[in-house]
Structure 1
Amino acid sequence: MRRHELTDREWELLAPLIQRAATGRPRVEDRQIINGMVYKIRTGISWRDLPERYGPWKTVYTRFRRYALEGMFTRALQQVQAYADEVGDINWLVQIDSTVVRAHQHAATGRKGGSTGRTNRNDHALGRSRGGLTTKIHLACDGKGRPLAILLTPGQRHDSVYARPLLERIRVPRTGLGRPRCKPDQVIADKAYSSRGFRAYLRKRGIACTIPEKADQMQHRRSRGRRGGRPPAFDRQIYRRRNIVERCFNRLKGFRGIATRYDKTATSYEAAVNLASFLLWARSV
């Protein structure tokens, strides 16, 4: 095994999900192609610059694009999560946060707005913020710092707007009978997620939360006296564990193709993030 390639354990988890045609001309070995994808995401190089040992670069790119559209890497991530849940390895003290990723100029050259040609920076999760064209990765991870759900948005979008859609993406299938697990035991988040609507949503689902209250919200509640209600519960000891989601981001951004976005479409970039997340899980279970 070379540097930046699949281990035998990772290939064992991923191989059953790859569909193979019964007829047709001989194809390049699947593991060789997947290794090319992992190498590309790890190093952030251009598809055209892939080493020849991975086969023709067009073949690697074509299969990556096909797998991205089919959602194969999403299924791989869910499969390894299901295995971890079966052996009781998932810590359901879930933390949520987001990080901004700078989009390379190669990611910003595609046509926006579809066939009409209208410029719309929100297409493909590209938006303009202080850093220029950026994408924001919203992440929910378990208590051991492994991704449970991922959501891409333009870089200027506020975190709290996508808190509910992010939590609703948590879906860990069962290996046997039963519905997928979608409900965390508790959610830890920073002040960006402190809103009455989000707290009410968590109460409705029966999910405990540890979210600090903003200063202006605290002042407004106190100014109303008794009508302001009680302050929300907040456990400082539990909140100290919020750095786990930051460490998860650091591990994801160890992949240079994730730390900087080179993909033109949100589908391809999300597939790359899912593949990197799968590798983080596969190396911990």
Structure 2
Amino acid sequence: MRYIFWGSFDFAQGVLEQLVSAELFPLALVCNPDRPAGRHEIITPPPTKAFALANGIPVLQPDDMNNDMLRDALARLKPEVFVVTAYSKIIPNDIINLPPYGTIGVHPSLLPLYRGATPIQSAILAGDEKFGISIYRMDEKIDHGPVLAQTEITVEENKRTYSYCSQLLAKEGGMLLAKTLPAYCAGEIIPSPQDESRATYTKKISTDDGFVDVAHDDPTIILRKIQALNPNPGAFAIIDGKRTKLLAATRENGTVVITRITKEGKAPSDARIVLTPR
């Protein structure tokens, strides 16, 4: 099976790792260009690039999607199908439809729920117990195409952090894709249209969304924000007149406790801030 993998971020790397573990090596990886990162703006490659190069996978890093050279490079590889997850750029429709079997998306939600860029954070903020992965055929709309396969995963409340859920769903998504992709290309799967009446959409999360009032907000909402919004953009409060980052929290015997913070101008430290139920 000849496929090209599109993805740039940690979630995409987790999916790709499972495909490589299953001996399903892509013809190439398409990812974002290297970008300045960190306080010193050091030019840094996307997480997927280092993994791909370490495994002998050629890498393409287009800056412009409307580029004939990119189309020619993709066509020369003669892919049967594209796989896209956590790529961040809008892929033109003619490229989506370039391979004979189209383009397959991997989305960390039970579509049509939580379409858009922040499905994991949105599910945590909503207090969902059940998370999921959808493998679907992409079309010109966001997370809209027919579904090939899904898997549902229950996550207990104290493990429901963005980092944990993202790593878990990437692993599960990669394993599901390793089974689904060959079957789809062999004509063994008929995609099922999504139920538009159940569709929900996520929104872009801003720094302001991370603010909590530890004296007045519902402790459960505070817990969810700390779990969903770390490491970026992060949750924060004003404590003793200073901006304080809230890094971790848990529920102990029904009570929410903030367990790690960063005070303004200080290093991260352990804490024990017990939140009184409202």
Both structures adopt the same fold (TM-score exceeding 0.5): no
Q: TM-score, normalised by structure 2?
A: 0.25
Structure scoring higher RCO (CA < 8 A, sep ≥ 6) equals 1
Q: TM-score, normalised by structure 1?
A: 0.24
**As a proportion of its length, which structure holds more strand?**
2
